[in-house]
Amino acid sequence: MAERGRRPNIIHIMWDDMAFGDLGIPALKAIRGFECPNIDQVAQEGILFTRMYTEPACTPSRAAVLTGRHPVRTGMSKVGWPLEFGGLSGEEATSANVLADAGYATAFYSKWHLGDIEECYPYNQGFDEAFFDPYNQVSNIWNPQGDAANAALNIAPEQRKKYPYLYDQEALNPDGWVMAIEGKKGEQGREWKEPSAETYAQLDLEAERRMLDFIERQVVAETPFFVTYWPQMLGFAPTPKKQTPQWGLMAEGLRRLDEFIGTLMNRLRELGIADNTLLVCHADNGPMVHDPPAGMGLAETIFRGGKGDYTEGGVRVPAFAWWPGVIEPGQIINDIIHETDLFTTFARLGRALEHVPTDRVIDGVDQTSLLLNGDTHGRRDFVHIYAGDTYAATVKGRVKRHWVTEGIESGVSSAFFDLILDPREKSPLLVPMVHTYSQFDRIRARHELWIKKYPHRPKARGIPFTGLSNARPETQAIGEKLRAAREQLPFDPLEFMDWEPPWGPQQANVVD
């Protein structure tokens, strides 16, 4: 890399809810009933990571990978739903901020899921341009078609006989929400079409078109670039035509994503920049195995648990890196890597470390040596695992300790696991592992002492969807109604934005 004298282009692709083994290992995909030849090619021509750890859910994982910080530090530890009245604070530093300060062109496409207020829009978080959905795939069914199919109940009340015992029929619906926004740094954004099933179906196609156009423009300008593409990939409404033997929603979405990744790799070669472009792609968390929509096609594979869990199945995901001529092909890397490491590694590769803030804890470590030198050259042998706001488990090497388990209230926990001998965390070991008890106590103590020194920061709060030049009347009404109520009531109705409810996914999901 140093001999080339060029800073690499960096592309980060992250999709939803995938079990380790569902990608990159053809035999397991054959069992599961689908193929992804282009993603397999990324693995074959680059690195397949066996120990990529993420956060256990969508919003936390996205906050972690962008800021290099565990999401509990940024107030982004819970999955956001509309209307959220909040999002990632502008005081956080993202990979886009850091790389833009170092001269990179930056762009974001598709699923954001980091808030719905102006402060947190991607083009206000370091990206030069963005085309994004503020929320997640559930919005795919918030339309008359989804209501008619009972995929979403009463989202289109005009289609249903009115329930006569509800005073405020609209109170339960997220009126005025926005499905897609386009914008550039320093400018007002615009809503891109109104929410509908048709709009949702076009999101990833439009994002991919814009992404390729952005890359081509930077090649002409001879500017290094950082592109983040987090595809929606699927919706929660069934697709009418099944093109995989599995028939599941996830397999159908992966088929489309796999085609685009093949197109992307070919285009990078045609542009003559493949050997100067790092592509990192991975899932954001484990599969949705708890209460999934019908026909999703998700399942545990090697590890136990899934989305929301602190077991390996919730936080250990398929992940790959591709950089022709720099990364040796065909590697299987068993070093631990956490998604926060991408923040620091990207900064190092982009010669942007001087722009990383030093007034906060950055959890990500520099894994450049792992990419360049391969297996056993990682700089991490531990992981702190959170489930929401709860510190749920610690991994050190091959040993894992569950902190959230029966008996923890008394201070006695036998939940130690050897992840090589017991990858499904089914047989806790006390006597064989008791010698690690105090060592794990010290690991956690050091972590929490740093939290005491550098306390967690809150998420940003505000009125959703301000700063849009073409906001619809119902979108503008979100803030107008609250401001009007503020003048008429003897209390401030906006206080709810600063209140953190004591329920929800901040409690760890204990897997049976």
Give φ, ψ of 51 to 5 degrees. -135, 50
Q: What is the sign of the dihedral through the CA atoms of 398, 403, 404 and 406? A: positive
Rounded to an integer, what distance in angstroms lies between the CA atom of residue 511 and that of residue 304?
A: 8
- Looking only at the bridges linking them, the beta strands covering 47-53 and 9-15 are unpaired
Which DSSP string corresponds to 197-223?
HHHHHHHHHHHHHHHHHHHHHHHHHT-
Q: Report whether 440 contacts 421 (CB < 8 A).
A: no
Cβ 55 vs Cβ 113: under 8 Å: no
Query: Is 58 an active-site residue?
Result: yes
Q: How far is Cα 45 from Cα 157, in angstroms, rounded to an integer?
A: 52
Give Cα separations from 508 to 62, 269, 484, 512 (angstroms): 19, 44, 39, 12
Is the distance from CB of 109 to CB of 209 less than 8 angstroms?
no
The catalytic residue among 113, 282, 384, 402 is 113
- The answer to whether residues 55 and 383 touch, using CB atoms and an 8 Å cutoff, is no
d(CA 298, CA 286): 9
94 and 124 Cβ atoms separated by less than 8 Å: no
Whole-Å CA distances, 44 to 259, 275, 329, 331: 16, 16, 6, 7
Per the CB < 8 A criterion, the answer to whether 159 and 144 are in contact is: yes
CA distance 283 to 57: 10
Of the residues 58, 70, 120, 282, only one is catalytic, namely 58
Tokens standing for residue 497: 């934005």
Strands, DSSP E only, in 284-409?
316-322, 331-333, 337-338, 382-387, 390-396, 399-402
CA distance 18 to 287: 5
**Residue 36 annotated in active site:** no
- ∠ Cα 264 233 235 (to 5°): 160
Q: Give Cα separations from 10 to 23, 195, 267, 279, 347 (angstroms).
A: 21, 31, 15, 6, 10
343, 93 in Cβ contact below 8 A? Answer: no
What span, in angstroms and rounded, lies between the C-alpha atoms of 39 and 259? 9
Tokens of 352: 């942007």
Catalytic residues: 58, 113
